[in-house]
Every structure is written in structure tokens, then in C-alpha cells.
Amino acid sequence: MSEQSNFIIRSARFDDLEELNEMMYDLHDEHHQIAPELFKPAEHIEKSIAHYLEHPECLVYVAMCDDHVVGFVSGYFGQYQSPVSQPVLMGSADELYVDVQHRKGGIAQALMKRIECEFRDYGAKFMFVEVWDKNQAAVSFYRQFGFENHIHCLVKPLTEKN
């Protein structure tokens, strides 16, 4: 669906779990397709979004279209502190997914705006997201949404002599 979709954004509920877990599976499958050397096949990952619904510091929003979940964003907020940094309240968007048939219709942007608004309401000063460098579509999306590099995490394979 490349045109603007008719959808609503709302907080996820426990009765959304079946559709959410199917989407979580699809998300992991897409990651595996992009970089099978890094990501396990989706069927080998046991991750449910239920724990996000059970904890008050966690958030899940869904995009609904025709009474079906067509996308979701999950995240949490909390105090970030390291031995060298000042403590700061920040939000983290952990997973963002829109099913293939509903992409390019503004759903991902609406989901990100919703969780950002909630983080602001909780007093978060920053919003954090992690994205694999190989997922350039996601990197581009987040940059357009105002995210900037914060920490560079570099990897060097040790399987060959360098």
C-alpha cells in the first residue's frame, strides 16, 4: 500500500499479542534475510512482546487498520547512567515494524511520533534507537526522523588475519 493508509495508533493490549508476536517473527525474519551471518533465523528466536505489556516502564503502540494490527513500536524509558556520564532520563525505541502491505503510508512515522510524545510526557531528555548498519533503509528513516550518531560501535572480524 503506497498511498496514505487509514489507520489509528493506540496502546497495545494483551489481546493484540497473537498479531504482535507474528509481527515480531516477521521482523526477526527480515533481519535474518538482510544479514544471515549476524542474525539467527526467526524460528530460532524466542522473543515475545508480552514482557513490554507487563512492565510500567515499557511501552507498546500499535497501528490498527480494519481491526488488525499492521504495525507496532515498542520501547522503554528509564534513567541512563554510566560511571562517566551525567544521569539522564531517556527513552529507547526497541522495535519498530510495519507489515509489508502497509509500508510507505505514514504508519512508521506515526508510531515513532507517538512513542516520542510519550517519552517527552514522562520527562525523557533523549530518545535512543539502535539500528544495524546493514539496514540502510532503517538508518535513512531514523535520520529523517532527526536521529543523529551518538556512539560509533565498530566491529572487526577476527576470523581472518588482518
What are the tens digits of pLDDT across the range 66-99? 999 999 999 999 998 888 888 999 999 999 999 9
Picking from 35-44, 59-68, 140-149, which range would have the lowest pLDDT averaged per residue?
Answer: 35-44
Q: What's the confidence (pLDDT) of residue 76? A: 95
> What's the pLDDT tens digit per position in 45-74?
777 788 899 999 999 999 999 999 999 999
Please name the residues in contact with 134: beta carbons below 8 A apart, sequence gap of 6 or more.
34, 35, 38
Q: What is the pLDDT of residues 88-139, one digit of tens each?
A: 999 999 999 999 999 999 999 999 999 999 999 999 999 999 988 878 889 9
Cα–Cα distances in angstroms (integers) from residue 95 to residues 3, 31, 87, 156, in the given order: 23, 12, 24, 26
pLDDT confidence tier of residue 29, bands split at 50, 70 and 90: confident
Give residue 44's pLDDT: 77
pTM given for the model: 0.87
Beta strands across the sheet bearing 68-80: 8-11, 58-65, 68-80, 88-98, 126-129
Question: What is the model's pLDDT at position 63?
Answer: 98
Query: What domains lie within the chain, and their CATH numbers?
Result: 8-144 (3.40.630.30)
State which H helix or E strand residue 110 sits in.
Answer: helix 107-121
Which residue, 66, 91, 72, is CA-closest to 9? 72
Q: Please tell me the distance from the alpha carbon of residue 113 to that of residue 111, in angstroms, as a whole number.
A: 5
Cell numbers placing 138? 532503517
